Amino acid sequence: MTAPKALVAGNWKMNGLTASKKEIEKLQSMISENGANCDVLICPPATIIGLLSGKGVEIGAQDCHMNISGAHTGDISALMLKDLGCHYVMVGHSERRSDHGESNDMVKSKAIAAQQQGLAAIICVGESDAERENGETLDVVTAQIKGSIPEDAIVKNTVIAYEPVWAIGTGKTPTADDVAEVHMVIRNLLMDRFGDEGEMVRILYGGSVKASNAHELMSVLNVNGALVGGASLKAEDFYGIIATYQ
Ligand code: 13P
C-alpha cells in the first residue's frame, strides 16, 4: 500500500469577511500557475462558505451540529454544509473542545453526522500543555482517537489532525521526533481499527506550521499533510506550505 496523498488544510477560525474571497482567488491562481502536489482545503467561517468556489481549492467547514436539522439556534448541520458543496468538515478542534465543552462523545456524534452526509470528518486531537508536562500525551491522544472515531467510519471519510494545544498559535512546535512518536501511535490505532487500509488514512499535523518549518514537519513519517491556522490566512504564506510538496 502506498502513502495517502497529502492534504494541506487551512483553518481560518473566526477570521474572514466577504472580501476574503480575493485571498482564495489569489491562492487559486498561484496553484494554477505553480501547481500543487497535494490536496488543498480551506475551512473559512461558515458565513462565507457559500461565496467561495472551490476551483483547485476545496472549501470545508470548521464544525457541524450532530443533528441534521431542528431547534438548535445558531448551529449549522452537515446537511447544510453538503448543500453548500463542502466535502470536509473539522470536528473536535481543541478550541471547540475548550470553548464549547465538546467531549469525545460529542465529537464522535458530529463525525457520524458528517459522514452520514457523505462528508469527510477531520477529527482533531491533541494534548494540553499540562498533559504534556505530566507525560500524558500518548494516553490523551489514544483516548481521543478511540472515543471520537465513529464505529461506521471508513478510510475515505476519515482524516485525523494531531494538534498539540500548546503549539497552536504560539510559534512553538514539537520536535520532529515527538511528532513522529505521536503520529506512529495514531497510525497503529488506525491499523488496529481499519486493518491494512489504516495506512491510507491521512494524519495531519497542526500547530504553528509555517513555510519555514513545513518541510521538516511534513517530512516526518506518518505526517500526511498539515492543518494550518494563522499561516493559512494569506495566500502567499499558505502557498509556501503547499509548495513543500512540490
Ligand atoms: P496555528 O497554525 O495558528 O498555530 O493554528 C493551528 C490550528 O489550530 C489549526 O487548526
Instruction: Mark out the alpha helices in the chain (DSSP H runs).
Output: 21-34, 46-49, 78-83, 94-99, 104-116, 129-133, 137-148, 176-194, 211-218, 235-242
With CA atoms as reference, report the closest residue to 8 among 167, 161, 198: 161
CA 2 / ligand 1 centre spacing (Å): 28
Give the pLDDT confidence score for residue 207 in this predicted structure: 98
Q: Tell how strand 158-162 and strand 58-59 pair up.
A: unpaired
163 part of the active site: yes
- Taken in order of first residue, the domains within the chain and their CATH numbers are 7-230 (3.20.20.70)
Give the pLDDT confidence score for residue 1 in this predicted structure: 61
Q: Residues in the chain, how many?
A: 246
Segment 49-68 mean pLDDT:
94
Segment 152-157 mean pLDDT:
98
Q: Whose CA is nearest to atom 2 of ligand 1?
A: 229
Give the pLDDT confidence score for residue 102 in this predicted structure: 98
- Are the C-beta atoms of residues 222 and 183 closer than 8 Å to each other? yes
Give the pLDDT confidence score for residue 53 in this predicted structure: 79
Ligand 1 test: best mutation among 7, 11, 172, most atoms within 8 Å of CB?
A: 11
Q: Assess whether pLDDT exceeds 80 at residue 54.
A: no
Which entry of 23, 58, 65, 93 is annotated as an active-site residue?
93
pTM: 0.98
Segment 229-242 mean pLDDT:
98
Exposed, middle or buried: residue 116 (CB in 10 Å: 0-12, 13-18, 19+)?
A: middle
Q: Alpha-carbon distance 188 to 198, whole Å?
A: 8
Residue with cell 510559534: 171
Average pLDDT, the chain: 97
Q: Alpha-carbon distance 3 to 76, whole Å?
A: 33
Give the pLDDT confidence score for residue 41 in this predicted structure: 98
Segment 133-156 mean pLDDT:
98
Q: Alpha-carbon distance 9 to 106, whole Å?
A: 23
- Are the C-beta atoms of residues 118 and 154 closer than 8 Å to each other? no
199 part of the active site: no
- DSSP, collapsed to helix, strand or coil, labels residue 24 as helix
Query: Mind listing the pLDDT tens digit for each residue in 70-107?
Result: 999 999 999 999 999 999 999 999 999 999 999 999 99
CA 90 / ligand 1 centre spacing (Å): 13
Segment 181-189 mean pLDDT:
98
Cβ–ligand 1 contact at 209 (below 6 Å): yes
Ligand 1 test: best mutation among 208, 217, 241, most atoms within 8 Å of CB?
A: 208
